[in-house]
Chain A
Amino acid sequence: MSRLLSGPLARLGASWRPDRAQKAIDAAQQSGLAAALVVMGAYFAVSAPRFLDGANLVVILLQVAVIGIIAVPGAMLILSGYIDLSVGSVAGLAGVVFGGLAAGPMPWGLAFVIALGVGLAWGLIQGALIAYGNFSALIVTLGGLTGARGLATLIQGVNVKQGFGNGFGFLGDGSILGVRTPVMLLGVVLALGVYVWHFMPVGRHMKAIGADKDAAFANGVAVRRIPWVLYMVSGLCAALGGLILTSQIDSATAATGTQMEIQVLTAILLGGVSFQGGRGTMAGVVIGILFIGVLDNGLVLLNIGPYYADIATGAALVLAAALDAFYKRIESLPAGMPGDEPEAGGPAAHEATPALDARSES
């Protein structure tokens, strides 16, 4: 038996453990960002004394709750090699749909469900065009970003609807078991996300679609249905996020969720999910979400003006791109395994590996 692959394969044995090296890279991706988060937190704690107040930490969680709820399906889309830029606008659309309906005779519960349904339907249509029609995800959801915002403004009309009562107010300001409702909802979405991402077959399937769609298809992965469903979940979560924001300010304005897609995307990419798809963890996404929350909150406490917050978010996005390039660089290094150098007699051997690697980047 062991004579088999006694050449190249057997000698790879003991010393080099690519699995350990890869796990170290994975850990570094998360712990690196976690360390940056701690450093940033320490800086804010020193320069803005109120930063570490219990009340302020709750504020941070409340601020990131909506971004986080939307980022979970968003990260799964990026993992699968897709993107949803329409989330901020869909949040605004869901808010004004709810406002328009709840301001009339309709009970707020029904309006709430219909508003969620609008988000789901938006995702269903976008997802169908992208997954089944092979339309560009970037362009379709960019259209969604503009279109949903326009539609929201149209529906809002001249008078912003407000005052939806205590029942609906519970969504944004209530508490469940001592935890604020949006934070509780974030917890539930994160738990479901971890389960789907790491403990169900579909998590691996998303990774496979993102890394190599043809290979995934050849193995029987549902390469169209999975992103389609993810777009629906993304639309649903965007609508839920929009309704939470609407509840918090108790008024349904079409501006709700403006530019939220940028913050969601920044959190996801900072968390180490590759923009090319195929790589990423839920733990990284959680750290990315907290990073965005702490950054925004700290800058507000430092009271240096809103423009700096935008500049900082832009810088964080560029940093995320740099990290992505760096991780890819590390991963594409030949594993450098002893005894497996390309052979003189086989020029094709030199071509084999790059050809396979190239597919992973497409």
Chain B
Amino acid sequence: MTDISPLQVRAVTKRYGAVTALRDVSVDFFHGQVVGLIGDNGAGKSTLVKILAGTQRPDDGHLIVNGEPTTFHAASDAHAAGIETVFQTLSLVPTLSVVENVYLARERIVGRPWSWLRRLDKAGMLREASDKFEQLGLRLPSLTARVSGLSGGQRQAVAIARGALWGRRILILDEPTAALGVRQSEAVLSLIDTLKTQGFTVILVTHNMEHVARACDRVVVLRLGRKVADASMEEVDKMTLVGMMTGAYE
């Protein structure tokens, strides 16, 4: 992985009052890599995710997107840079269908402005979403079924697929397996494999060491707001990671 990094974090610090949530953290992300972002509660994972998602701004430091120094001021800035974040809450609307959720607030319209024919491009959106779901190897009973009828794993898959549909380069998954059982978690991890082969950079935030070992190429460990490790998966084992998370190796 020697090509240009699509996303770099440079010396980012974030304070909340007297608490320093992130202290001088720098990370480089690369194309087609799955990076595990791990750490104990309060390590700064969520803060880093929020900065990458554009919902929080760093106090010091900045991001570099495709070589350009930048800071995201809003979620739309992150979206414009090709970064999509799937938060734990998923943000799916239960009474809307899968395809309606995928296009929520980004609906496609046919017809010229102010023309009587101007309306939702329902067929086009369904076709495009079906293609994308197929590319990702996702098979749902129906894309026109309401999300309220889907299982937790299916909802997670829909949320990730939505991110993949809109994100061009980077997908951040915040604890995607936290609420899932074993089989459903495996389905989500397989989806991450597929995303990787399609060139996505995936940032996987998780507590689960098994899932890091199963899905990630690289792991970044945060502890008390500092980066304490950044290594390829071949170089570390689970015990070491747990030790670094808890501070036993300091």
Q: Which of B119, B145, B179 contacts A351 (CB 8 A)?
A: B179
Grouping DSSP codes into helix (H, G, I), strand (E, B) and loop, the A interface class, with mixed when no group exceeds half, is helix
Q: Are A357 and B187 in contact, with the CB atoms below 8 A? A: no
Q: Are B136 and A8 in contact, with the CB atoms below 8 A? A: no
Q: Are A18 and B145 in contact, with the CB atoms below 8 A? A: yes
Query: For B97, B146, B186, which residue has the most chain A Cβ atoms within 10 angstroms?
Result: B146
Please name the residue on chain B nearest to A354 by beta carbon: B152
Closest Cβ of chain A: how far from B149's Cβ, in Å? 4
Q: Are A352 and B179 in contact, with the CB atoms below 8 A? A: yes
Q: Are B91 and A349 in contact, with the CB atoms below 8 A? A: no
Which residues between 124 and 182 of chain B lie within 8 Å of chain A, taking CB atoms? 134, 136-142, 144-146, 148-155, 157, 178-182
Closest Cβ of chain B: how far from A239's Cβ, in Å? 26
**Among listed B2-10, B101-109, B235-243, interface-contacting one:** B101-109
Q: Are A346 and B182 in contact, with the CB atoms below 8 A? A: yes
Q: Are A204 and B100 in contact, with the CB atoms below 8 A? A: yes
Q: Are A4 and B181 in contact, with the CB atoms below 8 A? A: no
Docked Cα-Cα span, A205 to B115, in Å, equals 21
Chain A positions within 8 Å of B139 at CB level: 2, 5, 9-10, 12-13
Closest Cβ of chain A: how far from B95's Cβ, in Å? 4
Q: Which of B90, B119, B148, B194 contacts A360 (CB 8 A)?
A: B148
Q: Are A201 and B138 in contact, with the CB atoms below 8 A? A: no
**Among listed A104-112, A130-138, A167-175, A335-343, interface-contacting one:** A335-343
Closest Cβ of chain A: how far from B168's Cβ, in Å? 17
Chain A positions within 8 Å of B157 at CB level: 5, 9
Docked Cα-Cα span, A9 to B143, in Å, equals 13
B46: Cβ under 8 A from any A Cβ: no
Chain B positions within 8 Å of A219 at CB level: 91, 93, 104-106
Docked Cα-Cα span, A201 to B106, in Å, equals 8
Please name the residue on chain B nearest to A332 by beta carbon: B148
Q: Are B152 and A215 in contact, with the CB atoms below 8 A? A: no
Please name the residue on chain B nearest to A199 by beta carbon: B119
List of 6 A-B pairs having minimum Cβ-Cβ separation, nearest first: A346-B181, A352-B152, A349-B181, A1-B137, A4-B137, A343-B181
**Can you list 13 A-B pairs with a CB-CB distance of less than 8 A?**
A1-B134, A8-B184, A9-B139, A12-B140, A13-B139, A19-B141, A199-B119, A216-B93, A219-B105, A279-B95, A346-B180, A348-B179, A355-B179
Chain B residues within CB distance 8 Å of chain A = 75-76, 87, 89-97, 100, 104-107, 109, 119-120, 134, 136-142, 144-146, 148-155, 157, 178-187, 190-191, 193-194
